[in-house]
Copies of this chain bind each other. A is one copy, B any other.
Amino acid sequence: MSPYAGPVQDLIDELGRLPGIGPKSAQRIAFHLLKLPTPDAQRLATAITEAKARVAFCQRCFNVCEGELCDICADPRRDGNLLCVVEEARDLVAVEKTGEFKGRYHVLQGAISPIEGIGPEQLRIKELLVRLDPEGVQEVIVCTNPNIEGEATAMYLARLLDPLGCRVTRLASGLPVGGDLEYADELTLGRAIEGRRTLDAS
C-alpha cells in the first residue's frame, strides 16, 4: 500500500515517469511542489499545458516550432545544399550554438536502437528522403551521437543515401566516443563540423 494520500502518490508517480528521475527524486520534487506557493507550482503545470498546446514539430525538418515551419526552415538565407541530420531537437540547438553551420536540419526524432525496439521506420527517414531532390541537397552531414545507436543510424543513412548521388559526411573525431552530442562544448563540436569525413558505404 502506498504511504501517501492519493493525489500525493499520483504526483510522485507522474514525476517518476520523467527521464532521469528516480523514485527518491520524484518524492523530493513532489514535496517541494507541495510546499511551494500554489501559483509557483501552477506555473510548471501551465508551462507543460502551454508547451503541449502551442509547440508542434516543423512539417519539414521536425524541429520543435510554433507554426508549420520552424524558424530555420523558413529562413531563405540558410544554405539549402547542406542538410544536417540530428537525432533530437536539442542536438540541433547544440549545432546551432557553434555558429559553424549555415545549412538546414533534419531531426530524426531518435536513433536506430534494436535494444529499445527502434528501427528505421520509427524515425523520420522517409521524410528525409523526400526532401533531398526538391531542396537540391548536395551533402547530408550525419550529426547523430557518437555512440552505438548514433553510429548505426549514420551507417544506415550512408547506405541509403549514397546510391542517390548525395554526399554523406559524418562529424569528425574530436567528439569523445561514447559521449552525448548535447554535452559537447561549442569549440569541440565546431571543430568536428569543420573536419567532417565522407562515409564509405562499401
Docked Cα-Cα span, A33 to B44, in Å, equals 12
- Chain B residue at minimal CB-CB distance from A36: B52
A76-108: which have CB < 8 Å to B?
88-90, 93, 96-97
- Chain B residue at minimal CB-CB distance from A15: B44
Which range holds the interface residue count of chain A? Answer: 35 or more
Tell whether, in the assembled complex, residue B7 and residue A34 are in contact, meaning their CB atoms are under 8 Å apart.
Answer: no
A1-34: which have CB < 8 Å to B?
3-8, 10-11, 13-15, 17-21, 24-25, 27-34
Tell whether, in the assembled complex, residue B48 and residue A6 are in contact, meaning their CB atoms are under 8 Å apart.
Answer: no
How many copies make up the complex? 2
Tell whether, in the assembled complex, residue B90 and residue A51 are in contact, meaning their CB atoms are under 8 Å apart.
Answer: no
Determine how close the nearest CB of chain B comes to the CB of A143; give it in whole angstroms: 16
Q: For residue A66, which residues in chain B have a CB less than 8 angstroms away from its CB? A: 5-7
Docked Cα-Cα span, A138 to B96, in Å, equals 65
Q: Given A44-B14, A50-B7, A51-B7, A31 and B88 touching (CB < 8 A)?
A: yes
A165-186: which have CB < 8 Å to B?
182-183
Q: For residue A7, which residues in chain B have a CB less than 8 angstroms away from its CB? A: 47, 50-51, 54-55, 66
Say if the beta carbon of A123 comes within 8 Å of chain B. Answer: no
Given contacts A24-B182, A30-B51, 14 further A-B contacts (CB under 8 A): A5-B66, A5-B71, A6-B54, A8-B64, A13-B47, A14-B43, A17-B44, A18-B33, A20-B29, A21-B29, A31-B64, A34-B55, A38-B52, A48-B48
Tell whether, in the assembled complex, residue A34 and residue B50 are in contact, meaning their CB atoms are under 8 Å apart.
Answer: no
Partner of A47 from B10, B38, B96 at Cβ < 8 Å = B10
Q: Which 7 A-B pairs have the closest CB atoms?
A: A45-B48, A45-B45, A14-B47, A11-B51, A14-B44, A7-B51, A11-B47
